[in-house]
Amino acid sequence: MKNLLEFNNVSYFYQTKESEVNALDNVTFTVEEKSFSTLVGPSGCGKTTILSLTAGLLTPSSGSIILDGKPITKNDGRIGYMFQRDHLFEWRTIWQNIILGLEIQKKHKSAQKLELAENLLKKYDLYNFKNKKPRQLSGGMRQRVALIRTLVLEPALLLLDEPFSALDYQTRLKVCDDVYEIIKSEQKTALLVTHDISEALSMSDKIIILSKRPATVKENMIISFSGGTPLQKREDDNFGNYFEKIWRFLC
Ligand SMILES: Nc1ncnc2c1ncn2[C@@H]1O[C@H](COP(=O)(O)OP(=O)(O)OP(=O)(O)O)[C@@H](O)[C@H]1O
Ligand SMILES: [Mg+2]
Q: What is the pLDDT of residues 127-153, one digit of tens each?
A: 999 999 999 999 889 999 999 999 999
Q: Is 61 exposed, middle or buried (0-12, 13-18, 19+ CB in 10 A)?
A: middle
The region of weakest confidence among 27-31, 143-147, 240-244 is 143-147
> Per-residue confidence at 65, pLDDT binned at 50, 70, 90?
very high
The CATH number, out of the four listed (3.90.1150.10, 3.30.360.10, 3.40.50.300, 3.30.565.10), of the domain defined by the range 1-78+184-251: 3.40.50.300
Question: Does residue 202 carry a pLDDT above 90?
Answer: yes
pLDDT band at 251 (very low <50, low <70, confident <90, very high): confident
> How far, in Å, from the CA of 125 to the mean position of ligand 1?
37
Each domain of the chain, given as residue ranges in start order, spans 1-78+184-251, 79-154
When pLDDT is averaged across residues 70-93 and rounded to a whole number, the result is 91
| Cα Dmax for the chain | 53
Q: What is the mean pLDDT of residues 231-238?
A: 95
The string of DSSP codes covering 56-80 is TSS--SEEEEEETTEE--TT-TTEE
Task: Give, for ligand 1, the residue of 15, 19, 45, 53 to mutate: max count of ligand atoms closer than 8 Å to Cβ.
Answer: 45
Residue 89 has pLDDT above 90, yes or no: yes
Neighbouring residues of 161: CB distance < 8 A, sequence distance ≥ 6: 47, 48, 51, 81, 82, 83, 84, 193
Kindly report the average pLDDT of the chain as a whole number.
Answer: 94
Identify the pLDDT of residue 111.
Answer: 94
With a threshold of 0.85, does the pTM exceed it? yes
Q: Which residues line ligand 1 (CB under 6 A)?
A: 14, 16, 21, 23, 41, 43-49, 213
pLDDT over threshold 90, residue 200: yes
pLDDT at position 250 is 92
